[in-house]
Structure 1
Amino acid sequence: MQHLDLQVIEGALRWANLGHRLWLCTVLATFGSSPRAPGAMLVARQDGEHLGSLSGGCVEEDFLERLRQEEFDEPVQQVRYGGQGSEPNASRVRLPCGGRLELLVERLEPSVATLTHLEVMHATLLGRRALTRYVPLDGRGATFVLAEASGPAIVWKEGVIGVRIGPALRLIIAGISPVSEACASFASTLGFEVIVCDPREEARRGFAVPGVELQAVMPSTFIASGGCHAATAVVALTHDPRIDDLAMIEAVRTQAFYIGVMGSKRNSQARAERLRRSGGLTEAEIARIKMPIGLGLGSKTPAEIALAVMADIVRVHRGRAQDVL
């Protein structure tokens, strides 16, 4: 399964190539109990076909009904769900717990300009560098500017809204094990691009997780060749130091936002010493590695360990402290 943003943009490209007019919706801001984060996207056709999501379902249902009624006829509109229904462009839909959701709605004609714009977005999601897409509210057409390494999802300027687009979330799994298979399955369901690296033919022979890319190389080789970008997590889950340690040595030299390796506290202490002594890693580099990996859920089975790993990756990606629910 692809990252949700990739599904949205690839669907938009497919429909635009078929001559469909599209509406691209982006979450601008959320207040209270709004499920999706700023930057989340949905693309829709006037017949109700759509990809992506904006909330838990009620917003999508209302938006698609209003779209069928031809309410969104401007090139660019801001729409609010929740809050006071008397406000301009406010919807009658109320979100739970007083939540509020603000959307940017762009009408895209099936033109060469639209196809080019969507191709840039697609390449950015598959690439290594982030862009900010500046959308003038007067409908003059969006432009792209290279974004900083990190920054807010939405930038507000007078008459213009900037939407940050970055590489799709990627998970590199170093080595195949029962935990690796469960982790790959969870990550794929969560919308990560999942790449599993293992040079052992016997290990690869029994591996079968739909939608996961399998590379017959040492994980360290794949990582060193440029397999990581800033939206990448790297996990080593084999208990084999020949695979795990080398992967960690290469991973700390990248921009990966999460690096972790499986093992008990005692094994992790021994690994840290090996990485320090034989791998030449500094204390700062060792500190980047989550070992033991994952949240402390008391996990025992491969699936439970994989759950703890993916939960911790999502926590770090969301910028949440470990002791905050």
Structure 2
Amino acid sequence: MQHLDLTVIRQALAWAREGETLWLCTVLSTFGSSPREPGAWLVARRDGRHVGSLSGGCVEEDFLERLAGGAFEAPVQRVRYGDAAGEEGGLDGPRVSLPCGGLLEVLVERLVPGETTLEHLSALEAALTGQRPRLRHVDLTSGQTHLEDDAGLGERVMLEAAGGDAVPGQVRLRVGPVARLVLAGMSPVAEACAEFAQRLGFEVILCDPRPEVLDGLTLSGVERVEALPSAFIAGGGCHGATAVVALTHDPRIDDLAMIEAVRTEAFYLGVMGSQKTSAARAERLRRSGGLSDDELARIQMPIGLNLGSKTPAEIALAVMADIVRVRRGRERTVL
């Protein structure tokens, strides 16, 4: 799945190899109506060619017009759209109104041709296509950047005020592989989860050993693997941005999938079932699967947020909401 982040960085690499100066724009924060979330990218050249988006319309038009007029020569700067205060607070504030009184803050980096730019963009491409999330540090004064390894969970953008270990004058940006949802077996709830997950930008993989089930699947954009989910997982099907959910009520599929999944770096593991069923499964996994208390604690049993869900769609909503919660680094107690 080639998501938009990867498309942006690959185009940036291609232009950098041609010796072009680039402007890499990152959405830092939003308030009110905004179609793109913090961390979204756009890359542009002075001639107006660009890939990616920041708002889906007026912001891009203003930025490209100002870029063509010779603006954004500094190595790095922050631009706020929708702020009637203009340049208050040291932010470059174009007078562009956003729908519903929204605010949008953008980081603009000027990347000059050379080995340093090529190496950095290549490292970003590797993070997006590989299995190792990175944390990207950008100095808001000099524009210098560096990467370090990261767990891949939590907010995509952290400004200097966010967190006790933050460095003043820096922004930290999470970069990693596209979120993946592995559905261990087909069921009505799994089908509904696949639909929700695709709208949320997940790569969706359905593993089921029954060919007739896969042949009858009508969802487009879902990768189908004719194999036991446990075999797919054991074969390297998970990375740190993967959620594995078992929603079949069949212990031969669900239990085996969890036994393999706890050995991976997947950020979310969950199995559907009542409190009574989950307690019995935990004992079974401990006794027959040899799972430790720490490994069992990684598995959400019962799966999902307690929304009082009844229908397959409602259960899928609870499951995907819980996955998003964990991916964003939120505790259930703060919901």
TM-score relative to the length of structure 1: 0.81
Structure 2 residue 117 is the aligned partner of structure 1 residue 107: no
For 1:133, the equivalent position in structure 2 comes to 136
Residue type of the partner of 2:132? R
Distance verdict in 2 for CA 1:49–1:195, change over 3 Å: same
Pick from 173, 187, 192 the counterpart of residue 182 of structure 1. 192
Distance verdict in 2 for CA 1:283–1:96, change over 3 Å: farther
For 2:85, the equivalent position in structure 1 comes to 84
For 1:272, the equivalent position in structure 2 comes to 282
Distance verdict in 2 for CA 1:26–1:215, change over 3 Å: same
- Superposed counterparts of 1:222-237, under 5 Å: 222-237=232-247
Give the secondary structure class of the aligned counterpart of 2:289: coil
For 1:66, the equivalent position in structure 2 comes to 66
Structure 2 residue 134 is the aligned partner of structure 1 residue 124: no
Deviates more, 1:107-116 or 1:43-52: 107-116
- Superposed counterparts of 1:253-264, under 5 Å: 253-264=263-274
Q: Are the counterparts in 2 of residues 173 and 235 from structure 1 also a CA contact under 8 Å?
A: yes
Structure 2 residue 213 is the aligned partner of structure 1 residue 210: no
Deviates more, 1:239-248 or 1:175-184: 175-184
Q: Are the counterparts in 1 of residues 20 and 113 from structure 2 also a CA contact under 8 Å?
A: yes
Instruction: Give the CA deviation at 1:109.
Output: 6.0
Residue type of the partner of 1:125? L
Distance verdict in 2 for CA 1:95–1:39, change over 3 Å: same
Residue type of the partner of 1:226? G
Instruction: Give the CA deviation at 1:171.
Output: 1.2
For 2:163, the equivalent position in structure 1 comes to none
For 2:8, the equivalent position in structure 1 comes to 8
In 1, the alpha carbon distance for the partners of 2:137 and 2:21 equals: 21
Deviations 1:242-286 (A, max 9, x none): 111111112222222211112233322222221122112223322
Q: Are the counterparts in 2 of residues 2 and 191 from structure 1 also a CA contact under 8 Å?
A: no
Distance verdict in 2 for CA 1:58–1:34, change over 3 Å: same
Deviations 1:52-71 (A, max 9, x none): 43x57654454344345443
Pick from 275, 288, 302 the counterpart of residue 298 of structure 2. 288
Matched pairs, number: 323
In 1, the alpha carbon distance for the partners of 2:198 and 2:117 equals: 29
Deviations 1:133-176 (A, max 9, x none): 34456777644444467687447557765533223211111112
What is the alpha-carbon root mean square deviation over aligned residues? 3.5
In 1, the alpha carbon distance for the partners of 2:97 and 2:329 equals: 28
Unaligned residue ranges in structure 1 (runs of 5+): none
Instruction: Give the CA deviation at 1:223.
Output: 1.9
In 2, the alpha carbon distance for the partners of 1:39 and 1:93 equals: 21
Q: Are the counterparts in 2 of residues 33 and 98 from structure 1 also a CA contact under 8 Å?
A: yes
For 1:27, the equivalent position in structure 2 comes to 27
Distance verdict in 2 for CA 1:253–1:5, change over 3 Å: same
Give the secondary structure class of the aligned counterpart of 1:300: coil
Give the secondary structure class of the aligned counterpart of 1:191: coil
Distance verdict in 2 for CA 1:280–1:130, change over 3 Å: same
Unaligned residue ranges in structure 2 (runs of 5+): 161-166
In 2, the alpha carbon distance for the partners of 1:148 and 1:304 equals: 30
Q: Are the counterparts in 2 of residues 294 and 311 from structure 1 also a CA contact under 8 Å?
A: yes
Q: Are the counterparts in 2 of residues 34 and 101 from structure 1 also a CA contact under 8 Å?
A: no
Residue type of the partner of 1:309? V
Deviates more, 1:223-232 or 1:33-42: 33-42
Give the secondary structure class of the aligned counterpart of 2:182: strand
Deviations 1:91-137 (A, max 9, x none): 22366898754322123467776555433212211212122334456
For 2:164, the equivalent position in structure 1 comes to none
Q: Are the counterparts in 2 of residues 8 and 52 from structure 1 also a CA contact under 8 Å?
A: no
TM-score relative to the length of structure 2: 0.78
Instruction: Give the CA deviation at 1:236.
Output: 0.8
Structure 2 residue 209 is the aligned partner of structure 1 residue 199: yes
For 1:41, the equivalent position in structure 2 comes to 41
Q: Are the counterparts in 2 of residues 172 and 195 from structure 1 also a CA contact under 8 Å?
A: yes
